Every structure is written in C-alpha cells, then in structure tokens.
A and B are shown apart, each in its own frame.
Chain A
Amino acid sequence: MTRILLIEDDTETAEAIVAELAERSFEVHWAPNGVEGLDRARTSHPDAMIVDRMLPGMDGLTVIEALRNDQIKTPVLVLSALGAVDDRVRGLRMGGDDYLTKPFAIVELIARIEALLRRPMDSRETILLAGPLELDLIERTARRGEREIDLLPREFRLLEYMMRRSDQLLTRAMLLEEVWNYKFVPATTNLIDVHMGRLRHKVDAPGEVQLIHNVRGSGFILRARE
C-alpha cells in the first residue's frame, strides 16, 4: 500500500484530502504542523508527501529543505495559496517536485501525486513503447503496429509525454505546464482539447482500439494495457 504523508494545517482541507486519497487505497498520515510533519517524514519514510506551504511554526519550504539536507529524496507536492510565477519557481527550487495552487480540484491533486509516485520511464531510452505504439526519439517517427503515424513536432512532444506516463491521468494543467511550457492560463480554455483531438485522430484510426481516452472534467489517459 502506498503511504502518503500530508502536512496541512487546515483541518477541513486535510480531512477532505485524507478521505479522497483513502478512497483510492492510499495510506495517508496527517500532520497538522511543520515540526510534527518533519518528525513523521524522518521516521516513517512515506512514498510521497503533500506539503502545505504556509504552516504554523515551521513553514512548508523549510520542512522540505530540512528533508533534502538529510538526503531524504521523497517526492514532494507543494500546496500553496501563493500562485505567482515567482512563488512557484521558489517552491520548486527549494526541493519541491511539483507545485499546486489552492484552490485545486481533487482529481488534479490525485493525478499529480500519481505522476510523482510513478516516475517516468528512463529518459535515456531512445525508443518508447506503449501498447501498440512505438516512438523513435532519434528518427522522430511514430508507429502504431505496422501503421506509420505522421506527426507535427508539437504532436510528437505531446505523444512522447503521454507515452512516458501511460495509464496515468494527465490533467489539462499538467499538459499545459509540461508540454506547452505555459506559465499562464490561456484565454482559450479548450486549447488542450483541440490539440488532443488532432493527436487522437491520428493515433486512433477508425476501427482501431481507442488508446487516448478523455476523462470527463479531468483530463486524458493513454491506455496502453488491454
């Protein structure tokens, strides 16, 4: 069972997160302040941590810094009400692995925790495989079984990102940040959907098993397993 340590001072938020994660069969421990959280992190070795940035006593970034100084490399998702680009950069620089601004959707939190737990495939790999899909990173070619898929550079990057994280829910925000390198929310809200529609059209030809799935209200999944 995957163990998660949540350090969050707001009881209601914490309870909601604990309940949602428990429902998805995570084992969650909750620490209401930084000092206790740091203690727990050192002793119980969780698989991943969710740390609120503003905590009474010792703030979240200090907790992460202390852990990193102890060579504890547990992946950390930073939660914060500070959403400015600068705050985000600081949070990541201090040792956070991902940064989520409050308020957030629960699915977004879960998707990001799962992404942290399942680190992507070895990045030295030059050929990515996911189900019938094959992506040659050197030749820049994509195939589905015997069929050659003709992709634009942006579509190629999108498919590469999805194949590295196959069978994982990828939210629109994650895709925007990671694939499009967006540091802001675009005015056109269906930007990702349009691009994803193009890619899906090329990957899933008529009559073939659908690989790219739209999860309503949350994001997309590339299902490689049967």
Chain B
Amino acid sequence: MRHIQFIRSNTFLWALAVAATLALFVAGLFAFVYQKLDNYLIARSDRMITTQINFMSDLPHGRRVRAVADHLQQDSRHVHYVGLFSAAGTRLAGNIDRVPSGLALDGTVQGARLNPLEAAAGRGPIVRIVGRRLDDGDVLVVARNVDETREISSVVGQALALGVLPAFCLCVLAGAWLSARAQKRVEVVNQRVQRIVAGELRERLPEGNADDPFARLARIVNSMLDEMETMINALSGVGNDIAHDLRTPLTRARLALERGRTHAVTLEQLQEVTDKAIAGIDQSLAIVTALLRLAEIENSSRTAGFGNVVLDEILHEVCDVYEPIAEDKGVALGVVIDRSVQVWGDRDLLFEAIANLADNAVKFAPPGGQVELELKLDDGRALVRVSDTGPGINEQEREAVLRRFYRSDKIRNTPGVGLGLSLVAAIIKLHGFRLIIGPAPGGRIEIVADAAREGKTRCIPISDLRSRKREVDRTIRGRLDVGTCRMSETEFRCVTSSLVAGATASLLGSVNRLGMWEQ
C-alpha cells in the first residue's frame, strides 16, 4: 500500500511540475508580448511626435499658436501634449506647464514624466517627449502619452492570467484523475496477481478494449502467463513420465527383495535376489543421472568451455569407440569426411552428442546394416550427418523423439533410458546449432552448425524462464517507450516490473517445485 501512495504523490508531483511549467511559459509569453507591444507603441509615438514637431516648426511664428490649439482640440483622447514657450520660458500656448527640466532641445525623443496644466497637483502621465528651440528663439515641446501601453499590457496580462488559471487547475485535476485511475487498475491487477501467486494458474490480468499501454502490458503479461501455464503443465507431465520410469525398476527391485526374504533358503539364492535388486536400483540411478545431466546442460548458459572444436577428430574418435560394438552386431560403421571442419563449441559436449547419435544408430541398425558418420562443409556451415539403415523415425514421431523418455512403441523392448535424443537436442540448443531429423526409412539425423567464428555463440535454453522474463521485460519497456501516456509511464514501469518480477518469481518457484524430480 505504501508504494502506491508514493506513486500517487509522484503522479501529483508530475502534474504540479507540468502546471508550473505551463505557468512559467505563460509568464514568458506575457513578457514577450508586453515587450513587443511597448516597443511598437513607443516607436509609433516617437514617429508621430517627430512629424508633428517638424510640421509646427516649419510654420511661421504667427500660425504656430493656432496650430497648437487646433492640434489639441482634435485630440479627443487627451493623449497629446504641446507647449510653445518664449525664449524666456513663458508659456505662449499649449497644455504643458513649463519646459520639463533635463529635456534636450535638439529634436531627440525621450521618455519623461510630464506635469501638464490640468494635473498640476497629481502625478503627471508618462510620455514620449521631444523639444526644439526654434529659429526665433521660442521653444516648442510636443509629447504623447504612452500610459496606454501599460493599459494594453494589463489587458493582455489579464487575458493570459485568465487562461493560465484554468489550465493549471486542469493539469492538477488531470494528474489526480490519471493517478486515481492508474491506481485503481493497479489494484485490480494486484488482486489478480495475488490470486495467481496463490496458485490459480488460470487467472489472467484484465485486458480491456482500449489500446493504451496498460492494456498492452496486460496482454504481454497474459501471453507470458499462457506460456508458463503450458510449461508447468508440460513439466507435470514429464514428472509423471519420470515417476513411471523410476518406479518400474524400483518395483522390480522391491519385489525381488520381498520374494527373496521369504523364499530364499540358500546363500546363492539370496545373492541372486540381491543382484537383481542392485540391478534395479542401478537402473533408477542411471535415469536420475541422465536427468541431472540433461538439466545441467539445459540450464547451463555458460560458454566458458567453448573453443574451436575440430569435428573430424570427434567423428574419428566416436567411430573408434563404437567400431567394435558395431562389428559385434554385424553392422558396418564408417566415417566419411569431406574436409576438416572447425566449429565454436564445447568439445566434450559435442562429443557426447555425436556419441549418443552413433550409439542410437548402431542400436537401431539391423544386423548386416550400415551406419555412417558424415562431415561436410556446406555453404559455410558444418554438417554432421549420422545415418543408419534402421527403421528411421517417421513423420509423427519426429518431434516426440526429442521429448524426455519418449520411446517408440516399436522399440519398447530395446534397452536404454530414452533420454539420449533429448540430451542431444539440449546440447545442440546450447550451441545455437540446428538438429534435423531426416525422413524414414533409414535413420538420418543432421547437426547443422555455423563453422568456427570468433566470439560467443548465442544460447538461450528455452526452459530458462529467467531469460524469457528478461525478454518480456525488454518488450514491455520497448512498448512503454512509444506509449502515449507519458505522464504515468514511470508509474507503469515501477508497478509492472515489480508485479512481473513477483509473478515470475512465484511461478519459477512453482516450476521448480514441480520440477523437483529433475532439479
């Protein structure tokens, strides 16, 4: 609950930050408008009073007074000021009391505060003012009120302020609303996840119809949950297989011991019984060992033991090991090597894989048949082909043979623990190679590998849920980055990654519990 509150305040901070940015932006806009307006009005006033003073200066002395009066009369808004003064400084005409002190009488425009006649008592208006000493010694002063600039500015300012206030409120409200909405959805998701954690693997997150990041995220998590559910079900299936295969020899051992205990009368009989029991236990042990080995390879993502492996050497070695066995069975074992090929991999594991394939091939080739280990370099890729003249693997069984403990019905009575090909598949996957099972009749299995190259081979064992999770994480992150709802992105990430992590951890826990047999 605490971190949900934290998120809420976080969202609010976001909203406040956006609102503050908006206010700042409006203030900046206002300053800009004010500045531009001010400059424009001053320039216009300056132009106007310069024209007027020029005009009046050019008039003959007698007409000037009239012109001043006329000019003031036409000014209904009382923004113009004119003063005509004698050389001594006495006012001859106009509405300016006296020549403002500090006014340069050379025709340059400047800003000043004016004391006109009517407003002698109060503060005069701020004006742009220009003065000039005329040829006959009189002084003419023309000014224009620029207070209206301030008025206009204040109007503009008010308008902007009126705009910014609702925008600010809207931001905060939107933040609150989004936060509340997200929180509600997180709460719903949280409840579902709690149920999943409690073991209800069929539960899914609500996806909704909208195409927002949350819905997309829910879909991603749901597809991950689908995958995991399938995996867990498959694992429990494997668990049953393992239980069956382990129990069979153990049952035999138990029966032998029980019967021996009651019926054996001589030492020889007892020893015979014990031998049987030991054989049964050894077979179960062999299965456990093979399973552990399989788990070891499947869960290994390390490529520490990787190096350049000369495949032709391995093939010769495998042939060397299996040659006498093949010969005993009357099977011709041969090696066909096109040229020397190197691949990047773990020598011991590759040897194990190829030895397993050869082992199978020799086992299934009929007496008088043939087994061939072939190495080719095909289009930059190494190709190891193990073929035999046995029954081969038919279409329906091709995938099944890679499963643990699968043993074709036709060959039920052939000894072996039925993990050979799963092991080969795991090794091949670890290397990032491909395993191709050729069509029957005649067994044919190919390993296709990229020829040696520097650097590491990519390897992500499918069963490694953690790498799966990383993938999902990456996808989620990728999706969120392009998400439109920027404001609550942080919160989405924070909540979902913790949810995904929690769910994954608990699911991994159940997988591990279910997979106890193997781990």
- Contact across chains for A180 and B321 when beta carbons are under 8 A apart: yes
- Contact across chains for B360 and A187 when beta carbons are under 8 A apart: yes
Looking at the assembled complex, report how far the CB atom of A14 sits from the nearest CB atom of chain B, in whole angstroms.
Answer: 21
- Contact across chains for A187 and B356 when beta carbons are under 8 A apart: yes
Selected contact of B321 from candidates A183, A189, A191, CB within 8 Å: A191
Measured CA separation A194–B325 after assembly (Å)? 6
- Contact across chains for A185 and B289 when beta carbons are under 8 A apart: yes
Selected contact of A186 from candidates B285, B320, B355, CB within 8 Å: B355
Interface bin, chain B = 20 to 34
Interface hit among B158-166, B290-298, B462-470: B290-298
If over half of A's interface residues share one DSSP class (helix, strand or loop), that class is named, otherwise mixed; here it is: loop
With contacts A83-B289, A84-B292, A191-B325 taken as known, whether A183 is within 8 angstroms of B320 at the C-beta atoms is no
- Contact across chains for A198 and B363 when beta carbons are under 8 A apart: no
Indicate whether B286 reaches chain A with its CB closer than 8 angstroms. yes
Number of inter-chain CB pairs below 8 Å: 47
- Contact across chains for B290 and A185 when beta carbons are under 8 A apart: yes
Instruction: Show the binding face of A for B, using Cβ within 8 Å.
Output: 83-86, 103, 152-154, 180, 183-191, 194-195, 197-198, 217
Instruction: Show the binding face of B for A, using Cβ within 8 Å.
Output: 275, 285-286, 289-290, 292-293, 296, 320-322, 324-325, 328, 348, 352, 355-356, 359-360, 362-363, 415-417, 420
Selected contact of A188 from candidates B290, B320, B348, B359, CB within 8 Å: B359
- Contact across chains for A185 and B286 when beta carbons are under 8 A apart: yes
Please give me the 6 A-B residue pairs with the lowest Cβ-Cβ distance, nearest first: A187-B359, A194-B324, A84-B296, A183-B348, A194-B325, A184-B352
Interface centre among A85, A184, A187, A189 (most CB of B within 10 A): A187
Measured CA separation A144–B179 after assembly (Å)? 91
Known: A186-B355, A195-B324. 16 other contacts (CB 8 A): A85-B296, A152-B320, A154-B321, A183-B348, A185-B289, A186-B359, A187-B356, A187-B359, A187-B360, A187-B363, A187-B420, A189-B415, A194-B325, A194-B328, A195-B321, A197-B324
Ordered by A's residue number, 15 sampled pairs between the chains whose C-beta atoms are within 8 Å are A83-B292, A84-B296, A85-B296, A85-B348, A154-B320, A183-B348, A184-B293, A187-B363, A187-B420, A188-B322, A188-B359, A190-B325, A191-B325, A194-B325, A198-B324
Looking at the assembled complex, report how far the CB atom of A55 sits from the nearest CB atom of chain B, in whole angstroms.
Answer: 22
- CB neighbours (8 Å) of A154 from chain B are 320-321
Looking at the assembled complex, report how far the CB atom of B310 sits from the nearest CB atom of chain A, in whole angstroms.
Answer: 15
- A104's nearest neighbour on chain B, judged by CB, is B285
- B304's nearest neighbour on chain A, judged by CB, is A86
- CB neighbours (8 Å) of B420 from chain A are 187
If over half of B's interface residues share one DSSP class (helix, strand or loop), that class is named, otherwise mixed; here it is: helix
- Contact across chains for A103 and B292 when beta carbons are under 8 A apart: no
Measured CA separation A86–B346 after assembly (Å)? 13
Measured CA separation A154–B316 after assembly (Å)? 12
Selected contact of A187 from candidates B275, B285, B324, B416, CB within 8 Å: B416
Measured CA separation A185–B420 after assembly (Å)? 11
Looking at the assembled complex, report how far the CB atom of B418 sits from the nearest CB atom of chain A, in whole angstroms.
Answer: 10
- Contact across chains for B289 and A188 when beta carbons are under 8 A apart: no
Measured CA separation A48–B187 after assembly (Å)? 64
Measured CA separation A194–B322 after assembly (Å)? 9
Looking at the assembled complex, report how far the CB atom of B250 sits from the nearest CB atom of chain A, in whole angstroms.
Answer: 14
Looking at the assembled complex, report how far the CB atom of A114 sits from the nearest CB atom of chain B, in whole angstroms.
Answer: 22
Interface centre among B275, B286, B292, B324 (most CB of A within 10 A): B324
- Contact across chains for A103 and B293 when beta carbons are under 8 A apart: no
Measured CA separation A154–B325 after assembly (Å)? 14
- A103's nearest neighbour on chain B, judged by CB, is B285
Looking at the assembled complex, report how far the CB atom of B463 sits from the nearest CB atom of chain A, in whole angstroms.
Answer: 16
Measured CA separation A188–B420 after assembly (Å)? 11
Measured CA separation A103–B282 after assembly (Å)? 10
Measured CA separation A185–B289 after assembly (Å)? 9
Measured CA separation A20–B320 after assembly (Å)? 38
- CB neighbours (8 Å) of A194 from chain B are 324-325, 328
- CB neighbours (8 Å) of B359 from chain A are 186-188
- A216's nearest neighbour on chain B, judged by CB, is B275
- A217's nearest neighbour on chain B, judged by CB, is B275
Looking at the assembled complex, report how far the CB atom of A187 sits from the nearest CB atom of chain B, in whole angstroms.
Answer: 5
- CB neighbours (8 Å) of B348 from chain A are 85, 183
Measured CA separation A75–B355 after assembly (Å)? 33
Measured CA separation A85–B427 after assembly (Å)? 14
Measured CA separation A188–B289 after assembly (Å)? 15
Measured CA separation A207–B382 after assembly (Å)? 50
- CB neighbours (8 Å) of A195 from chain B are 321, 324
Looking at the assembled complex, report how far the CB atom of B328 sits from the nearest CB atom of chain A, in whole angstroms.
Answer: 6
Looking at the assembled complex, report how far the CB atom of A80 sits from the nearest CB atom of chain B, in whole angstroms.
Answer: 13
- Contact across chains for B363 and A188 when beta carbons are under 8 A apart: yes
- CB neighbours (8 Å) of A84 from chain B are 292-293, 296
Measured CA separation A81–B121 after assembly (Å)? 108
Looking at the assembled complex, report how far the CB atom of A101 sits from the nearest CB atom of chain B, in whole angstroms.
Answer: 8
Measured CA separation A154–B317 after assembly (Å)? 9
Looking at the assembled complex, report how far the CB atom of B444 sits from the nearest CB atom of chain A, in whole angstroms.
Answer: 19
Measured CA separation A83–B292 after assembly (Å)? 8
Measured CA separation A186–B321 after assembly (Å)? 11
- B420's nearest neighbour on chain A, judged by CB, is A187
- CB neighbours (8 Å) of B328 from chain A are 194
Measured CA separation A195–B290 after assembly (Å)? 23
Looking at the assembled complex, report how far the CB atom of A184 sits from the nearest CB atom of chain B, in whole angstroms.
Answer: 5
- CB neighbours (8 Å) of A191 from chain B are 321, 325
Measured CA separation A191–B362 after assembly (Å)? 12
- Contact across chains for B286 and A188 when beta carbons are under 8 A apart: no
- Contact across chains for A183 and B352 when beta carbons are under 8 A apart: yes
- CB neighbours (8 Å) of B322 from chain A are 188
- B281's nearest neighbour on chain A, judged by CB, is A103
Looking at the assembled complex, report how far the CB atom of B327 sits from the nearest CB atom of chain A, in whole angstroms.
Answer: 9
Looking at the assembled complex, report how far the CB atom of B284 sits from the nearest CB atom of chain A, in whole angstroms.
Answer: 10
- A84's nearest neighbour on chain B, judged by CB, is B296
Measured CA separation A52–B197 after assembly (Å)? 39
- A155's nearest neighbour on chain B, judged by CB, is B324
